[in-house]
Structure 1
């Protein structure tokens, strides 16, 4: 997956290193196309989103935690 398209992934965070994971070239549009193809050709009975890391949400939380309106 392309880290420029999938921001909430381990390899998209330049502050994290060490697991050897790296981004690829998969775009959201291509992934959507693949999932549509699967749906059209088989029955989907389950779906998992694994290792979702909401870095943007965490950064927002840290920023807002310093604002009294959001911290009381």
Structure 2
């Protein structure tokens, strides 16, 4: 998916005026962002699967962003 995006850029950093997206593995997400245990952890893993995409929307035309995401989904 990441390789096919034309407007949205793959990057870890949030910021500036460009739309960005970052993929984080579920295990890394659990270790760095959330401190879930037991049933909460199981529900999160069921939802996130093996990873999640974190988007940061920039100043591009919304229709261009929608089209870029639609062509990879």
Category of TM-score, reference length = shorter chain: under 0.3
If asked which structure has higher relative contact order (CA below 8 Å, sep 6+), I would say 2
Larger radius of gyration: 1
Q: Determine which structure has the larger strand proportion and give its number.
A: 2
